Amino acid sequence: TTEIYTLSLHDALPILKTDGYQLIIDPYFSGNPASPIKPDEVNPDYILLTHGHGDHVGDCLSIAKRTNAEVISNAEIVKWVSMQGIKKSHGQHLGGGFQYPFGYLKLTLALHGSALPDGSYGGNPAGFLLTTKDKKKLYFAGDTGLFGDMTLIGEEGIDLAVLPIGDNYTMGPIDALRAVKLLQPKHVIPIHYNTWPLIAQDAAAWAVDVEKEVNCQVHVLKPGESLTL
């Protein structure tokens, strides 16, 4: 089974526990007003970075140095973390997949920026499409606007889509509903909202709207809650 914990409503994500492995995507704990835990409380085997922005790279370097977790991201970000002293990393790029011990991970398109915290070039932002060993397909959109090729991602048969709804920096609720229609996932978790007033959203109301129009279940998770697939 795969468990998805939301540690914050922001970058989610979550800690993902799948087949005995623990993954963290975009470990933004320090300075995150929505995070209930500290970076030294997590022990991931892998850290996945969708893009280079500070509120997504977050505590990646300190966690990876302490735990020896492998960092997975695009080739530019992986080169940057290596230069910061991270020993284990794996670079991929958009459209490319790789078979890890925890499953097959493909980098997907995302419409956003990706500059790193020190201004270094962070390549293209990405989302992640993870096929777990028990054949569940999990799509983490990352920070992105709506794009029509979500239809292609949806064609793979998505069990869970984790989508931003905060607006301003990413899709807002209206476009996120359109994204659900393109992706046709069985389950949806909204993220990247309520971290700051600028991206405040009513996720419960959004869930009602989505479930009215699309045959899927929306899970509005509070920090620390989890969903088991």
Given the rule CB under 5 A, which residues bind Ni ion?
53, 143
Using the minimum distance from each CB to Ni ion, give the nearer residue, 53 or 106: 53
Which residue number, 53 or 187, has a Cβ lying nearer to Ni ion?
53
Nearest-approach distance from CB 128 to Ni ion, in angstroms: 15
- Smallest gap from residue 11 Cβ to Ni ion (A): 8
What residue number has its CB nearest to Ni ion? 53
Angle at 56 between CA 52 and CA 58, to 5 degrees: 105
Asked if residues 138 and 129 have their Cβ atoms less than 8 Å apart, the reply is yes
Q: Closer to Ni ion at the Cβ: 53 or 137?
A: 53
* Residue 1, C-beta contacts closer than 8 angstroms, at least 6 positions apart: 18, 134, 228, 229
Could you give the C-alpha distances from 193 to 19, 163, 205, in angstroms and in order? 29, 10, 13
Nearer Cβ to Ni ion (143/167): 143
Considering the complex, what minimum distance in angstroms separates the CB of residue 17 from Ni ion?
25
* 188 contacts 182 by C-beta, under 8 angstroms: no
What does the DSSP assignment read for 189-213? EEES-SSSGGG---HHHHHHHHHHH
Shortest spacing between CB 112 and Ni ion, in angstroms: 6
Q: Are strands 46-48 and 103-109 parallel, antiparallel or unpaired?
A: unpaired
Say which residues have a Cβ less than 8 Å from residue 202's Cβ, sequence separation at least 6: none
85 vs 119, which CB is nearer to Ni ion? 119
Shortest distance in whole angstroms from residue 78 CB to Ni ion: 18
